[in-house]
Structure 1
Amino acid sequence: MATYVLIHAAAVDAWYWGPLAAELKGRGHQVVAPDLPCDDESAGLAEYTETVVEAIDASTSGSRGGSGGRSGGEKGKRDGQLVVVAHSFGGFTGPLVCERVGADLLVMLQAMVPRPGEAPGQWWENTGYGPARAEADRRRGVAEGVEEDPRSVFLHDTPDELAAEFTAGHERTQTGTPMREPWPLDAWPDVPTRFLLASGDRFFPAPFLRAVVAERLGIEPDEMPGDHSPMLAHPKDVAERLEAYRAAL
C-alpha cells in the first residue's frame, strides 16, 4: 500500500480530487487530500505546508511512529511509499512538503514550478506566461481582450455535471498572502520528480508549460489528454500514470 498526498490549487477546495482518490483507494492505497487555508489572510506557504504535513501525520502515524516521521529520517518506518501530487498553484507547496516528510516521489500535475526566492506572484512574469497565453489564445481563435467563461478556460474537457458542481460549490476566496512570499528552499528537494502535463489545458498552454518544465526541472513532461483539471475528466488515466511512476522507483 502507498499513501498518495494530493495538494490542490489556489481558490478551490480538495473536492475535485474525489474521482482520482476513488481510483487510488480502489487499488488499495491511502489518500490524503486536505483543504488548504487559502481564504485565511494570515496563512502563507509555511501554513499551507504545515496543513499538509499535519494531515499526513494524522493519517499515517500508526505506520510511521508518530509525528517524528516529518524529518525524512523516519522515512523507513512507513509502510509503503509516500507520493506527493501537486496541482497548479500546489506546485509551490508540494516540494516544501517533500522536504519536510521525506517523500518517495513528487508528481507535478499541471503545476507551477517555482525557483528559489521566487514569490508565486512573480512567477507569471518570470516565466513569460502573459505573451505565451496570448499566443495560445490567438492560435485557437480567441481575440485579445476577450473574457472567456471560466468553464471554457479551465474545465472544457470536464463532464458538464462535474464542472457545474465544481463551480457551484467548490470555489473559494484566495488571499494574496502566499503570493507575496519568496519560495524558501535553496534548491529543488532531493526527491524523484515527474511532471504530468494535460495537453488540452487552455489556462497553462502545453507549449508554455513544456518550456517551463524543461528550463526549471530539466526534464521532459509526460503528456495526457485533459484540461486544467484532468483528475476530473480522466481520473483512471491519471491514476494509472501515478501508479506507473511509483512502480518505476
Structure 2
Amino acid sequence: MATFALIHGGGGSAWDWHLLEPELRGRGHDTVAVDLPVEDESASLFDCADTVVEAVGDRGDLVVVAHSWGGFVGPLVCARRPAGLLVMVTAMIPAPGERPADWWRNTGFGHVDMTDPIGLFLHDVPKELAEESLARSRSHADKAMDEPWPLDGWPDVPTKFLLCTDDRFFAPGFMREVVRDRLGVTPDEIGGSHAPMLARPAELADRLTGYLTGRS
C-alpha cells in the first residue's frame, strides 16, 4: 500500500482531490490532501511543504503528486522526507532560485485569455462541479509567489511528468518542451483538461497506481 500525498495547484485546496481520493483508496492505497497555507502572508514555500509533511506523519511508501503551481512544492516535500516517486501532473517545473512569479517569463509561456476560466481550465468537467471549483478558489499571498525556489537542484527521487493532451492552459506542445528542458525526460500523457482529478479521476488513479506496477 502506498500513501499518495496530493498537492493542489494555484488557487486550489484539498477539495480538488475529493474525487480522486476514493478512487485511490478503492485500489488499496492511502491518501493525504491538505490546504496549503497559500493565503498566509508569512508562509514560505517550505512552510507549504511542511504542511504536507506534517499531514503525512509516519505513513510509509510515499508517492508525492503535485498539480500545476503545486510543482513548486512537491519537490520540497521530497527534500523533507523520503519518497519513492514524485508525479508532476500538468505542473510547473521550478529551477533553482526561480520565483514562481518569474516562471512564466522564463519558460516563454506567453499569453492566454483568462476571461473564461471554465473554458480555459475546466472545459471537460461537469458544469456544476466546474462552478463549485471556481467558487472555492483561493488567493495567493505575495510570499508564496515571490520567494525564490530554495533547492540547489532536483531532489534525488524518481520523477514522472503527466501532461494533459486537451489542456488549454498549459498547452501540450509548450509543456513537452518545458519537461524536456527542465527534467530531461519525455512526459507521459493523459487526455483531458488542466484538471484531470475532477474530469477523469478513475483514469488518473489508474495512471498513478500504474506507475507503482510498471503499467503506466
| Superposition TM-score, scaled by structure 1 size | 0.83
Distance in 2 of aligned mates of 1:44 and 1:199: 32
- After superposition, residues 169-208 of structure 1 pair within 5 angstroms as 170-208=136-174
Change (3 A) 1:148 1:212: same
Distance in 2 of aligned mates of 1:239 and 1:218: 25
- RMSD, matched Cα: 1.4
Structure 2 counterpart of 1:242:
208
Distance in 2 of aligned mates of 1:85 and 1:159: 23
Q: 2:120 aligns with which of 149, 153, 162?
A: 153
Structure 1 counterpart of 2:8:
8
Between 158-167 and 223-232, the greater mean CA deviation after superposition? 158-167
Distance in 1 of aligned mates of 2:142 and 2:126: 31
Report how many residues are paired. Answer: 215
- After superposition, residues 132-143 of structure 1 pair within 5 angstroms as 133=111
Deviations 1:213-247 (A, max 9, x none): 00000111111111111111111111111111112
The amino acid across from 1:89 in the alignment is: W
Alpha-carbon deviation of 1:148? 2.8
Structure 2 counterpart of 1:213:
179
The amino acid across from 2:70 in the alignment is: G
Structure 2 counterpart of 1:51:
51
Distance in 2 of aligned mates of 1:30 and 1:90: 20
The amino acid across from 1:108 in the alignment is: M
Which structure would you say has the larger Rg?
1
Deviations 1:68-127 (A, max 9, x none): xxxxxxxxxx3xx21000000000000010111110000000100001111111111000
The amino acid across from 2:16 in the alignment is: Y
Residue pair 2:163, 2:172 contacting (<8 A) in 1 also: yes
Structure 2 counterpart of 1:69:
none
Consecutive unaligned residues of structure 1, counting only runs of 5 or more, are: 65-77, 135-145
Structure 2 counterpart of 1:113:
93
Q: Give the structure with the larger helix fraction.
A: 1
Residue pair 2:114, 2:120 contacting (<8 A) in 1 also: no
Alpha-carbon deviation of 1:28? 1.5
Distance in 2 of aligned mates of 1:215 and 1:3: 29
Residue pair 2:98, 2:148 contacting (<8 A) in 1 also: yes
Alpha-carbon deviation of 1:147? 4.8
The amino acid across from 1:229 in the alignment is: A
Structure 1 stretches of 4+ moved >2 Å: none
Structure 2 counterpart of 1:232:
198
Deviations 1:181-207 (A, max 9, x none): 111111111100000001111111111
Distance in 2 of aligned mates of 1:33 and 1:224: 22
The amino acid across from 1:159 in the alignment is: P
Distance in 2 of aligned mates of 1:88 and 1:8: 7
